Structure 1
Amino acid sequence: MTDIAMTNPEMNHEATIKTISDALVDAAGIEALFLSGSHATGLADAYSDIDFVMVARAGASDDVAALWRDAVAQTGDIVLWWDRTTVPVLINAITADWTRTDVIILKPEQMGHHSQAGLKPLFDHKGVYAGLDEKHAPAPPNPRKFKYQIEEFIRILGLLHLAAGREEYINGVLGVFHLRNALVELMIEETGAPNRGGVLHLNRLITQEQKDVLVSLPPPVPTRDAMIDAHLAYARAFLPLARKRAADLGVDWPEQFEEVTWARLNETLGIDCPYARG
C-alpha cells in the first residue's frame, strides 16, 4: 500500500497557489497565470477546488503540461492526473491531501471567452488581463434548450411504463435521478444565481423553499410502487413550474407529447396526471 504521508502535509490553498505560481513565474513560454472559479470570485471555502487559467505561447502542448505537472508536484504527491482527457486544454489533478487543482491552458488569442470579473491575476507578463472585458453580460435564457429540457423530462417520465412492464426496478430508479436533475436545473434557472460553480454548490444557488421541496420528495427505491410514486412526485413538482417558465419565455408547451404520455401511463399503469394542466 502506498504511504500517504505527504512531504508537505496539510498545505492550505493559499500555500498551494503560491507554490504553483512561484514554480511557473519564470518558466519559458508561460505568459500569465490566473485564478478562476471560486478562488477568483471570493466564494471559495475549505472544500473548494483550485481553478487556474494559464496563458502559454504554445497553448496546451506536452511541454507546457509537463511544466504544470512539475509545479503541482511541488505541492504534494499526485495521486490522480487527468491530462487533457475530457477537454483538450484541461488538466485535473488531486494530491495526497485531496487538494484538487484544475488548469485550462490557452494561447493568448484564446482568452476572449474570459473576463476580468472571472479571473484573479497571479502573474501577467504580457498584460493579458488588461485586454479582457471587465465582465461579460449574463447569458440570456435559451428557449430552445428549455424546450428540450421539458421534452426530455416527459420522455423519461414516459419510460416508466417500460421499466414497470419489464420489472426493471433497479434500473428503473435511474429515471428518478434524471427527473431530479431536471428539477434542480429548473430551480437554479428560476433563481438566476450567478457563479454557479461545481456540482456541490447547490446550497447557495436555490432558496430555502426550493430546498424544502427537494427534501420532501421520495427517494429512489427499486420496487414497483416506490418507483412509480417517485416519478409522479417529481412530475408534480416539475411540470407546473416548467409550464410557468415556458409561458414567461414564450416557449410553446409540448401539449400533444405530454397528453399522449399521460394517456399511455394511464393505459398501462392506471396513472393519472398528478397536476392541473392548462
Structure 2
Amino acid sequence: MADARDLVDHHVELLSALPGVRAVLLGGSLARDAADRWSDLDLMIVAADGVAPADLADAALAAVTGADEPLLVIRRESDHHCLLNLVLPPWTRVDLSVTDDQRPGGPRMPLRQVYGEPLDLTPPPGDTAVDLDGAAAVITQFVRVYGLLPVVLGRDDLVTSVQGCHLIWGELVKLCLLIDPETGRMGALSKAQRILPEHRDLLLALPAIAPDRRTILAFHEAAWSALLAITASGPLAEADWPPERTLQQLRSWLQQTVGLTLALPGTTSGSGDASAEGGVDDLPGDGEAGGRGR
C-alpha cells in the first residue's frame, strides 16, 4: 500500500484530537504488516467512559472527511459499537470501528495500539481447529440447492437457476476457506490468497455460468465433482455429510428429472453405484444416520 504509514499517521492525528477518544487501534493487514498498495485502512476508536460510540462515530466521520464529501458511507451500529465503512476520494477505503469496550480485540480483529494510554487488548486465539460444523453446513446447503435444480429448470426459471449456480460457487469458496482458520480474522479481499493452490485450480476450472440449461447442468456436474475432491482428503475429510439415504434419493431425483448423475462420497464416478438404475421408490433404507453418507 503506497504511503501506508503516512495514511495511518494522518488519520490517527485527526482522530486522536477528538474529545472522548481514549485510544486508537490499528487493525487488518496493516496491523499484521501484510498490507499491499490495495489494502484498506482499518482503525478502531475506543471511547472514554460515558461517551456513546454513535456520537463519537459522528465526530470521527466529520474529522476524517473534512470538507470533502465521502464517496460512500455504510453505517452499522449497536448499543456498544458503531462501524463506518467509508470510501474517500479518489478511492481510499477506510473502516472506522468505534466501541466502548475497554478490552477490545478478539478473533476477528488482531489489533495494534497507535494512540492513547496502553489498553489490555484481547489477544487472538492460538491454534484453532478446522470448523467441521461449518463444513457440514456447506455440504447440506449443496444438497438442498441441487435438489431444487429440477424445480427451477422445470419452470424454465433461468434467473433463479443462474442465481443458484453463483450460490454454489460461493459455498465452494467458503468451504475452501474453512481449511485455514486464520481466514476468519481477515478481510474478504485477503481471504482468497489463503486458498490451497489445488483448490484454487478447481474453482477456476469450473465452467462459465450462462443462462441456458446445458451450461447450468454442466456447471452443477463440475461443481459437485469439485465438492467431492475438496472433501476427499485433509481436515475436511472428517466433515459430516447427510445420511446415505438422502444422498441416494438426491442422486435418483436428479437422474430421473434432469439426467444429471452425481457420484457419491467415496466413489470416483456415478456409474459404479449400485443404485444408479433404481428409481426413487427403489432406493435402499435409511443407511447411516450421518457421517460421510457411505
- Fold match (TM-score > 0.5): yes
Task: State the match for 1:162 in structure 2.
Answer: 151
Task: State the match for 1:265 in structure 2.
Answer: 254
Q: How far is the alpha carbon of 1:138 from its aligned partner?
A: 3.7
List aligned pairs for 1:128-207, cutoff 5 A: 128=119, 131-194=120-183, 197-207=186-196
Question: What root-mean-square deviation, in Å, do the aligned CA atoms of Structure 1 and Structure 2 show?
Answer: 2.8
Matched, 1:92 2:81: no
Which structure is higher in RCO with an 8 Å CA cutoff and minimum separation 6? Answer: 1
Asked whether the equivalents of residues 175 and 231 of structure 1 are also in contact (C-alpha less than 8 Å), the reply is no
Give the counterpart letter for 2:8 in structure 1. I
Write the distance in 2 (CA, Å) between the matches of 1:86 and 1:209.
Answer: 41
Write the distance in 1 (CA, Å) between the matches of 2:102 and 2:122.
Answer: 14
List aligned pairs for 1:205-244, cutoff 5 A: 205-242=194-231, 244=233
Q: How far is the alpha carbon of 1:205 from its aligned partner?
A: 0.8
Greater shift in the superposed pair: 257-266 or 80-89: 80-89
Instruction: Tell me the matched-pair count.
Output: 264
Structure 1 counterpart SS, 2:102: helix
Structure 1 counterpart SS, 2:90: coil
Q: CA 1:179–1:101 in structure 2 vs 1: closer, same or farther (change >3 Å)?
A: same
Task: State the match for 1:8 in structure 2.
Answer: none
Task: State the match for 1:72 in structure 2.
Answer: 64
Write the distance in 2 (CA, Å) between the matches of 1:228 and 1:102.
Answer: 40
Write the distance in 1 (CA, Å) between the matches of 2:145 and 2:92.
Answer: 37
Q: Identity over aligned residues, as a percent? A: 24
Instruction: Flag structure 1 segments of 5+ consecutive residues without an equivalent.
Output: 1-10
Give the counterpart letter for 1:239 in structure 2. L
Asked whether the equivalents of residues 37 and 50 of structure 1 are also in contact (C-alpha less than 8 Å), the reply is yes
CA distances 1:11-61 after superposition (whole Å, capped 9, x unpaired): 944333222211222322111101101110111111111111110024653
Greater shift in the superposed pair: 81-90 or 201-210: 81-90
Q: How far is the alpha carbon of 1:189 from its aligned partner?
A: 2.5
TM-score w.r.t. length of structure 2: 0.79
Q: CA 1:260–1:219 in structure 2 vs 1: closer, same or farther (change >3 Å)?
A: same
Matched, 1:55 2:43: no
- The structure that is helix-richer by fraction is 1
Write the distance in 1 (CA, Å) between the matches of 2:153 and 2:113.
Answer: 55
Q: CA 1:252–1:170 in structure 2 vs 1: closer, same or farther (change >3 Å)?
A: closer
Instruction: Flag structure 2 segments of 5+ consecutive residues without an equivalent.
Output: 269-293
Write the distance in 1 (CA, Å) between the matches of 2:180 and 2:107.
Answer: 24
Structure 1 counterpart SS, 2:188: coil
TM-score w.r.t. length of structure 1: 0.83
Q: How far is the alpha carbon of 1:249 from its aligned partner?
A: 3.1
Asked whether the equivalents of residues 19 and 71 of structure 1 are also in contact (C-alpha less than 8 Å), the reply is no
